[in-house]
């Protein structure tokens, strides 16, 4: 059962520690990898943060083991910087105790502030360190820890300067098994949405996006007039759940705001079009469910990685990109797509074609080799 206690020696199969907490973009692929490794007879322990989002998502996976680790994000302001340094010292102590008791055969990190302590301790103790970067501009954690890593798995064609070529490999984004296309009518029934007409889904990522929420609110009438109802996943704490009926241009549709959605496969499958941030995880889930996006990259994303993610999607015909602040253009783009079935279907075909970049099976096979080799040495 999923628990943060009771770690013990449970046999000779390979054991993997997976650090993946802090954001949905880190946690979801960690869960996916753990389930795949478990399906192949391996032991896995998820290292997650103390954030509410980790608790909320993990509630759906009671069969997975996890531990909550200390850690906070890096900031150069004096007080947050001291807090970060203190939390990393705690993280190193946590990692020392964990690796001594659980004796993992490999450590996998999906980036973020939970990565550092375990990566350093595992490197010192000779435990293979494996990093996965989902974005097309690698984050600070992966760039910094790459020097300690035995493998760095990156999006197709992305490489990190000054890291040995043999360490770097291509891998897609691990998407949870339940994130799959289901019939649209069934998906809408699951969510209590009207089956007739179009549906626009608005996503701001795991933390929500106030700017996209405001856009959906202010342009709801135009979207309804284009024949679409709206489901806006506003983000935890962004606003209270609300559904209201709007009539515009002789068309009446529901506009629904929810703070969180734990049925993302249904939400994506129900939609005809998505307006979304350009996080790698969100894009991978849209591709898995075959729903075309209009991407609005977060302008403050680290190193502009969301801009690069969105550019890649657009260059391959899998979506359109509108910069934040171009709200009139966004509204025009969305309403035109909702009215143009042929153009939207062409965009959807491009979205589906992006699946060829999302294969991550080689990463699993390689982990089994690394873990098996370490286990053999441990014996």
In the numeric block, which tokens belong to residue 243?
């559904």
Phi-psi category of residue 85: left, alpha or beta, with phi > 0 → left and psi -120 to 50 → alpha? alpha
For residues 72 and 80, the answer to whether their CB atoms sit within 8 Å is yes
| pLDDT tens digits, 330-341 | 999 999 999 999
Fold of 184-357: Rossmann fold (3.40.50)
Residue 76's SS3 state is coil
Q: Taking the CB of residue 271, how many other CB atoms lie within 10 A of it?
A: 28
Which residue stretches of the chain are H helix? 24-39, 52-58, 78-102, 115-124, 140-145, 184-191, 210-218, 220-225, 264-270, 280-289, 305-315, 327-339, 341-353, 361-378
Q: CA angle, corner 357, sides to 354 and 358, nearest 5?
A: 100
In the numeric block, which tokens belong to residue 319?
């979506």
What are the extents of the domains in the chain? 15-174+360-378, 184-357
Give dist(CA 247, CA 255) in Å, integer: 10
CA 106 to chain centroid: 22
| pLDDT tens digits, 178-214 | 999 999 999 999 999 999 999 999 998 766 789 999 9
Per-residue pLDDT, 275: 98
Give dist(CA 366, CA 149) in Å, integer: 14
Which residue carries 């907490």 as its tokens? Answer: 21
Give dist(CA 60, CA 81) in Å, integer: 34
For the chain, which ranges sit under pLDDT 70?
1-12, 71-76, 80-81, 84, 206-207, 373-379
Per-residue pLDDT, 243: 95
Per-residue pLDDT, 377: 62
For residues 134 and 29, the answer to whether their CB atoms sit within 8 Å is yes
Give dist(CA 192, CA 303) in Å, integer: 39
Fold of 15-174+360-378: Rossmann fold (3.40.50)
């Amino acid at each position: 059962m999923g628990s943060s206690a009771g770690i013990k020696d449970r046999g000779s199969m390979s054991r993997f520690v997976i650090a993946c907490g802090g954001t949905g973009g880190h946690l979801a692929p960690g869960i996916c990898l753990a389930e795949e490794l478990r399906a192949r007879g391996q032991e896995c322990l998820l290292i997650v943060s103390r954030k509410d989002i980790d608790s909320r998502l993990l509630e759906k996976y009671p069969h997975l083991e996890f531990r909550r680790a200390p850690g906070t994000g890096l900031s150069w302001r004096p007080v947050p910087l001291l807090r970060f340094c203190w939390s990393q010292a705690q993280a190193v102590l946590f990692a020392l105790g964990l690796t001594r008791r659980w004796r993992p055969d490999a450590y996998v990190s999906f980036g973020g502030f939970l990565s550092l302590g375990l990566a350093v301790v595992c490197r010192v103790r000779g435990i293979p360190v494996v990093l996965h970067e989902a974005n097309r501009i690698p984050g600070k954690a992966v760039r910094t820890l790459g020097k300690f890593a035995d493998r760095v798995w990156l999006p197709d064609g992305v490489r990190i300067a000054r890291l040995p070529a043999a360490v770097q490999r291509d891998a897609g984004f691990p998407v949870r098994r339940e994130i799959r296309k289901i019939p649209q009518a069934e998906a809408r029934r699951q969510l209590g949405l009207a089956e007739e007409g179009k549906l626009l889904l608005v996503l701001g990522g795991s933390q929500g996006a106030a700017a996209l929420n405001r856009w959906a609110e202010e342009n709801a009438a135009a979207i309804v007039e284009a024949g679409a109802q709206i489901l806006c996943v506003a983000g935890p704490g962004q606003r209270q759940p609300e559904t209201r009926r709007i009539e515009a241009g002789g068309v009446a549709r529901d506009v629904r705001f929810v703070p969180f959605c734990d049925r993302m496969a249904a939400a994506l499958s129900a939609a005809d079009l998505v307006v979304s941030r350009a996080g790698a995880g969100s894009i991978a889930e849209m591709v898995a469910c075959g729903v075309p996006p209009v991407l609005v990259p977060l302008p403050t994303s680290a190193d502009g990685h969301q801009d690069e993610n969105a550019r890649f999607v657009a260059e391959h015909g899998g979506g359109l990109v509108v910069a934040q602040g171009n709200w009139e253009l966004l509204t025009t783009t969305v309403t035109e797509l909702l009215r143009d079935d042929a153009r939207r279907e062409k965009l959807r075909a491009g979205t589906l074609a992006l699946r060829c970049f999302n294969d991550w099976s080689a990463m699993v096979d390689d982990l089994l080799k690394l873990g098996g080799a370490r286990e053999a040495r441990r014996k």
